[in-house]
Amino acid sequence: MFRRALSRQFQPLFGNALWTKYQELLARPVWGKSTTAVERLQVLGALARQGRWVTVNYGLASQFA
């Protein structure tokens, strides 16, 4: 997904909850030495530049259940 978004094949949409999850996942120590924290932040920054922020209304989903 990251590669496709960065190559402009699509424009990702971000809400606060999703963005916070991305930050959390990229900060985890599971990455080992394959990437540095700075490199992961650079990818996140590039993704932010390609994407669009949206407001997610979680109450709306309950209206259709």
Q: What are the pLDDT digits (tens) for 40-65? A: 899 889 888 888 999 887 776 566 65
The pLDDT of residue 55 is: 87
The pLDDT of residue 33 is: 86
**pLDDT(24) > 90:** yes
Nearest to 40, CA basis, from 30, 55, 54, 50: 30
Question: For residue 17, what are the contacts with CB-CB under 8 A and spacing of at least 6?
Answer: 56
**pLDDT(1) > 80:** no
Residue 5: exposed, middle, or buried by beta-carbon count in 10 A (0-12, 13-18, 19+)?
A: middle
Kind and range of the H or E element at 44? helix 37-50
